[in-house]
Each structure stands twice: as structure tokens, then as C-alpha cells.
A and B are shown apart, each in its own frame.
Chain A
Amino acid sequence: MRVNDVKDLKAIADGYIAEQGKYEHTIYVCGGGGCISSKCQDTKDFVNSYIKELGLTDKVNVVFTGCMGTCAMGPVVLVEPERVYYVHVTPERAKEIIDRQIVNGEIIEEYTFFDKNLGKHIPHIDDIPFFAEQVQIVLNKCGKIPFDSIEAYISKGGFTAAAKAFGMTQQQIIDEITASGLRGRGGAGFPTGIKWSAGMKAQGDRKCIVCNADEGDPGAFMDRSAIEGDPFCLIEGMMIGGYAIGAHNGYVYCRAEYPVAVERFNKALDIAREWGLLGKNILGSGFDFDIELRIGAGAFVCGEETALMNSIQGERGEPRQKPPFPFESGLFGCPTIINNVETYYNIAEIINRGADWFAQYGVGKSKGTKVFALAGDVVNTGIVEVPMGMSLRKLIFEIGGGITNGMKFKAAQMGGPSGGCITEKNLDTSVDYESLTALGAIMGSGGLIVMGENTCMVDTARFFMQFIQDESCGKCTPCRIGTKRMLEILERITRGKGTLEDLDTLEELSHVIKDTAMCGLGQTAPNPVLSTLANFRDEYVAHIVDKTCPAHVCSALAHYYIVPEKCKGCTLCARNCPAQCISGKVKEPHVIDQDKCIKCGSCMANCKFGAIIKK
């Protein structure tokens, strides 16, 4: 079927809504990345076949959606119209839910979301703080519709923004985006309206619009969830962008580590073409537009815009010298505008609801919402979208549910290898571009790793530097060699062989690399080191002067001891010690010879009485 105009869109939406209205119940099974790893496919298949077996296919609708957000609790299931949210739904639990709730109208409370802060199950999704405190613009359809149905997308107002945009001039669209205050969600926060305006004014026979879906920051999985859960919204956002700047070719560059996103987006492209929503004369506007998906091949530097364009061109993903900027000469030498996935997901809503509506959310120069991937030592790991300006404390402790295992909060790492950490004393900081930058962290693309007291910050800095060393493309000297030297120093410190002068050298190297590296990867690479040095200098000093790792992470600095009161003399540790440094008689407390110990930890892993401690 081909969609020719707004009337067609309306008819499709009405038809879909009427169709859905026939069912008494709808069971939404989450098909997000986290739930797939928890085998939600089995749950979905079971629900489908069991509903059929019970002869309820006319009454119960089963919908496979994108990510609902609580990734550690998968597979998750939402039952409408009661809006009961079930977690860890194995096929066995699914059977019980269908038998008891769908058939008998009874809510099984012990299978619903458990809020650790409140210490109780909360059956209704709207009462759960994790969901209730969110404002969803980017994710407003993700997890709520079947990701592969264009009718479902249209029923939620899909493509009406594109239709409205086609009735506007290019300048009007750009004015609206500018007025909304939308800024690039990839991390740097460049105003989208200004970027598009440059794209529109650029001269060229052919222009390109590109989506950066190379979500490379370790700890970030927002873009993946958005594409997997609501792929048509990216198509619409890019289409409006293409129309605004005068580009007919769109490219999405997605990392190869996301095969599900690749598969679902490719399918969405095929469907959109089939329905005439990509291709020639879209919605009767006379505007031609199509999108091609290009897949990366495992290089972090390709998240940098100029490297990304080289990679789309099939070349080595090395960055280009700027200027010329992409809007002057980008992909295949054409004027090119490149935005992050999340940025595009805001476009349709801004066009439909207006700049003022969008700007009511947020604070200062940071408007709208931000999607975060919560991970690390936090109770509710997953995807959340909050208005800019929310405090980190609220984000981590109310929505995130606090720190796991009753640990104390130590730091929140934002912005991955380009970012920094926020400590306890700054937890009330508002989450917006300016406030975070002032603290030496960055908004980043949205990865938010929460670290408890058992994380060593020196080791964390070493981890990021190792990552940068692995991923540095080697084109410029400061990044290739400078980060290598920084890594060597950090490794030395974590082995207890560092000196206090090393800290000065680290700072000096950091500033030189920031000033002289060619691209964003190198220029921001020293940030984790500078940030941990500023906030946790005492931990560095402890490694260097006291030769201890306060968090007991750095194995070279750890010491294993046997607590005599707990040791039963079972000899298991001594028999498993590869260095044969544990001695003692049967049924008498054993002792570790610290000079011979190689700190492998096998004694601790084998002890059945918890008698071995690490200090």
C-alpha cells in the first residue's frame, strides 16, 4: 500500500486503533537488547502459543516491543488495560500470569516490579518511581508499540510531522528547531538549528544527511534501544532534516556490535519504501528522500564525525583535519550534516508540538530531555529519559533505586572515555551541559556508570587509558604516543611502582594531548585522568606512597590473610595454592607466607568458611 497524503495517514491510524480496540487484553513482551539476552523470545513464543491453545486469540493481543527500560529484570511484560508490570517472566511465569490474571482477573503481586527503596512490590507501572519520574519524548513510543509495524507507528502520529514539515519552508523548520533550543545529543551539545542552518546555506549539487549510530562509549546503550524499539522515528527525523537542508541522501552509520539494531532498521527501511514513505515524492510533497544503512567494523574512533564519514566511504576510519567542516565538505565531498541518533528522535515531536512545548522541559541553555543508560553498581540498571536539570541524586537514588548491595556511593562516571566523574559532594548538580562541564565531567552521549566504594579510581583511569590506547587510530602523534606514555605511568602506579613526580607528568601530558591531538578522541582522552586526579588524588597517593589500593582492586597491591578464628584447618586453600605458600597442620589455622604469595586469590575463592580476607 502506498501512503499519498495526510488523509491516508489518518485512515491508517484510525484503522489500526480500531483493530487494537477489539481486544480485551494486550500483553506487551519486551524485545529490547537486555530482554533478548534474558531469552524473551521464548517467553513471547510461549505466550503466543498458549493464548492460541486457550482459544483466546480474539480476546488477547500479544505485542513484541522494543526496550521498556528495566534491563536487568528481563524478560519484562506489561499487561493492558490493567497496566500491570511483570518482571523476570519466564515461560512458566507467563503461563501463571495468563491463567491467573488474563483468565481470572487476579494480579500476581509477587511477580511484579519490586522497589528496593520502598521494600515492596508495585504492580502498576504508573506507580513505579522508575517510570513515574521520567519524561519521555525520545522514547515515547519505544517499548509501547511493535517495533516492526509501520501502522502502529502511524497510529501514534507517525509521519504527520514530516507531512507538516513539507508544508513549511526550509527556513521555517530551522527556525522552529533553533527556537526549541535542541542541542546535539551525541555529547558536545552543539545547537542543532545552527548546524542545520549552515547545512541549508551550503552550496552544492548534492548534500547528505548522516546519522551517527556508532554508539561507541563503553557503558552507553541508549541509541541501540531507540533504534531497536522505534526505528521509524529515526527515518522521520532524518527525512525532516534532509528536507530542511536540501539533502536527498541519508546515511545511517551503525556499529557492527549491534546486529539486532541493524536487522530491525533495515527492515524498517524496506517497509517505509514499500509504503512510499521513502523514495520519490513522499506524501505528495515532491520531495525525494532515501536512507542507506552502513555498518561499521569495530573502531571506536569512527564515532568522531570526520572518521565516520571516511568509514562510510569504505576507507580507514581516520579523522580528517578541520576545516573544512562537514557542512562545507563532508561525505563524498558534499556538504553534510551529521547528528546523533537521539537528536533525530526529538525532531518529529518538536515539529508537531512546537518549539515552546519542547522548551518547557529543561533548564537554562539545556532544553528538553536526556536519555541515560544507567549501569554499574546501581539497583535499576536500564534506560531512562529525564528532563534536563534533574539532579544526579534524584536520577541515581530515586529513579536508579540507589547503590547495589548496600554499598556507599563513590562516583558517577559520565561521558565514557571522554568524560569525567562526579563525586558525592556534587550529587545535587543539575544534569545539563553547562553544569557538568563546570565540574570537569561532560553530558556525553548518556552513558552513566555508577561506582560504589569497591571501585578503584586509579584502576578506572587506567582502564579508560587502556581503551583509548587500543582504539587510537595512530594518525597523530600526541594521541598515539602520548596516551601510551600515560598508560605506562598509570600501570606503574597500579602496581605500586609509581612516584609522586608521575602525577605531575600525567597532568602535563594531559594538557599537551588536549591541546595538540587532531580529533575529539585524542583531545578528550586525558579527561578521565584529570577528573580522577582532581577528585581522588588521595587514592593515587595511597598507591604510590602507602603501596595500598584502598578499594582492594589492584591485585599487585593486595594482601591475602587467613583469619585464625574462622579457619577450620581443612587444608583446601593450601592444596589449591599454585605458589605453595600456605602452611599449617590439619584442623589448625593456616598461614599465608606474604613473601611467596603471588596474589592470585585462589585461596579466597576456594575457602568454604570465608576465613580469607583481602586487604
Chain B
Amino acid sequence: MSELAKKPSAAGIEEQANYEKLANVIDLYSGKEGCLIQVLHAAQEIFGYLPYEVQKYVADNMGFSVSYVSSVSSFYSFFSTTPRTKHEVRVCLGTACYVKGGKLLIEKLQELLGIGVGEATADNVFSIHVTRCVGACGLAPVVVVDDEVFKQVKPGDIAGILEQYRGK
């Protein structure tokens, strides 16, 4: 393992392992220019999100200030500083999906889950997000749950889709 891995002392065993993985990633990119975004992608993959501690770790080990890392991570919509829910429901509101009724799907989801866009259910199982085009315009409107794309969705299909994931 690289000497980079100066773990915060309070970290638990699982977290320590995560920091080791992150150290390896930083090591891997050490010879290449401008890799901060690629490292943040990997960090989010490992930790699930980018809390302050992780951003600080990246900053310290890549020679940036924390404020700089934060300025980059906060610019991009893919990076999140809050923990993810178990399942993320993304409704596409690209042009094709919008024209084909994507807005109605959001309304239905909000009604069924009782939360707004960008919010999480109390049990932390579902959150609703809007995404701008996943490139499945031929199948509009689409809903993406985690990595799975559901095509030509009607408001009446939403309850069934959620049910598939509730127990998972």
C-alpha cells in the first residue's frame, strides 16, 4: 500500500479499507495530469458519496486545498455530499421524454412516495431525481432506477416499478 494512505484515526475497519482503496486510486493517477474529477468519481464509487472527510483526504493527498476540491465537486451534478438512498429513481426530462409525458411520471412518483425531487424517503430507500437525457430517447419516456432503464413508462406503471425494488 502506498505511503499516501494517512487514514483519519477514527475510521472504522470498513472505512479504513475504503481509504486504502482510495489511496490506490490516487496512486494510479499520480503520474497523469488533471485527474481530480476521475479520482472524485472513484471516491464516490467507493464511499457512495463525497463527505467532507473524503474530500479533505483527496485534497491532502493530491496537493490541493479542500476549498478547491469542494469547488470542483460542487460544480458537477454527479457528485453528492449526502449519503445515497438504497435506490435512486431518476426520471428523464430530456426533450423527448418531456414531450412524451416525463413530467407526469415525476408527479406520480411524488404522490406515491410523498417526497419532492431531490428528497429521500424517511426509511432512506428511495430518492427522486431528475436527469437530463440518458440517450434512450427512442424509448421515451424513461425512468432509471439505479442502473436499470425502464422504457415507455406510463404513470400507471410507477407503483409496479417501485414494488420491484422495495424489498431488494
Are B72 and A315 neighbours in the complex by a CB distance under 8 Å? yes
Q: Name the one of A215, A416, A451 contacting B135, with C-beta atoms under 8 angstroms.
A: A215
Verify B136–A312 contact, CB threshold 8 A.
no
B151 within 8 A of A: yes
Tell me if B78 and A316 are in contact (CB < 8 A): no
Give bound CA distance, A470 to B147, whole Å. 23
A352 and B144 alpha carbons, distance in the complex (Å): 41
- Give the nearest-CB partner of B148 in chain A: A37
Judge whether B139 and A455 touch: CB under 8 Å.
no
Bound complex: CA A332 to CA B139 (Å): 39
In this complex, the member of B36, B77, B135 whose beta carbon has the largest number of chain A beta carbons within 10 angstroms is: B135
B41 CB-CB contact with A under 8 Å: yes
When distances are taken between beta carbons in the complex, the residues of chain B under 8 Å from A383 are 138
B161 in contact (CB, < 8 A)? no
Q: A70–B138 Cα gap in the complex (Å)? A: 8
* Interface membership of A91, Cβ < 8 A: no
**Per-position binary interface string of chain A over residues 485-527, scored 1 when its CB falls under 8 Å from any chain B CB and 0 otherwise:** 0000000000000000000000000000000000000000000
The verdict on A216 contacting B133 (CB below 8 Å), with A37-B151, A332-B33 known, is yes
From A144-152, A192-200, A251-259, A580-588, the one touching the partner chain is A251-259
Stretch touching chain A among B3-11, B19-27, B93-101: B93-101
> With A218-B96, A297-B77, A300-B132 in contact, is A316–B71 under 8 Å at CB?
yes
Known A295-B41, A313-B34, A376-B96: A71·B79 in contact at CB below 8 Å: no
Residues of B within 8 A of A36 (CB): 149
Does residue A34 face the partner (Cβ distance < 8 Å to B)? yes
Encoded as 1 (CB less than 8 Å from any B CB) or 0, chain A from 420 to 459 comes to 0000000000000000000000000001010100010000
In the complex, are the beta carbons of A375 and B137 less than 8 A apart? Answer: yes
State how many angstroms separate the Cβ of B117 from the closest Cβ of chain A. Answer: 12
> Does A236 reach chain B (CB closer than 8 Å)?
no
Chain A hits for B114, CB < 8 A:
none
Asked if A382 contacts B34 (CB within 8 A), the reply is: no
Proximity bits, B61-89, A CB within 8 Å = 1, else 0: 00000000001100111110000000000
The residue from B38, B98, B136, B138 contacting A295, defined by CB atoms under 8 A apart? B38
Total interface residues in chain A, CB < 8 Å: 60
Instruction: Confirm or deny: A330 has a beta carbon within 8 angstroms of a beta carbon on chain B.
Output: no
Q: Which of B40, B133, B150 has most chain A Cβ within 10 Å?
A: B133
B142 in contact (CB, < 8 A): yes
User: Is A311 touching B133 in the complex (CB atoms < 8 A)?
Assistant: no
Q: Are B76 and A298 in contact (CB under 8 A)?
A: yes
Choose from B36, B140, B155 the contact partner of A314 (Cβ within 8 Å).
B36
Q: How far is the CB of A456 from chain B (nearest CB, A)?
A: 10
* Residue A335 lies at the interface, judged by CB distance under 8 Å to chain B: no
* Cα-based distance from A312 to B96 in the complex (angstroms): 29
Other-chain residue from B37, B98, B151 in contact with A294 (beta carbon distance below 8 A) = B37
Q: Quote the shortest CB–CB distance from A374 to chain B (angstroms).
A: 8
Is B35 in contact with A314, judged by CB distance below 8 angstroms? yes
Given A315-B72, A317-B76, CB of A416 within 8 Å of CB of B95: yes
- Given A375-B140, A376-B140, verify A299-B99 contact (CB < 8 Å): no
Q: Which residues of chain A (290-341) have a CB below 8 Å from chain B?
A: 292, 294-300, 311-318, 332
Closest residue on chain A to residue B99 by CB atoms:
A376
Indicate whether B125 reaches chain A with its CB closer than 8 angstroms.
no
State which of A155-163, A219-227, A538-546 sits at the interface with chain B.
A219-227
Which of B33, B77, B98, B131 sits near A313, CB closer than 8 Å? Answer: B33
Residues on A facing B (Cβ under 8 Å): 33-34, 36-38, 70-72, 74, 215-221, 224, 256-259, 292, 294-300, 311-318, 332, 373-377, 381-383, 413, 416, 447, 449, 451, 455, 460, 463-464, 467, 470-471, 473, 605
Q: List 6 A-B contacts (CB under 8 A).
A: A219-B96, A224-B135, A296-B78, A297-B41, A299-B77, A316-B75
Task: Spell out B's residues near A (CB within 8 Å).
Answer: 32-38, 40-41, 71-72, 75-79, 93-100, 131-140, 142, 147, 149-152, 155
Q: Contacts A33-B136, A256-B78, A297-B78 known; list 5 others, CB within 8 Å.
A: A72-B138, A257-B133, A299-B77, A316-B72, A460-B99
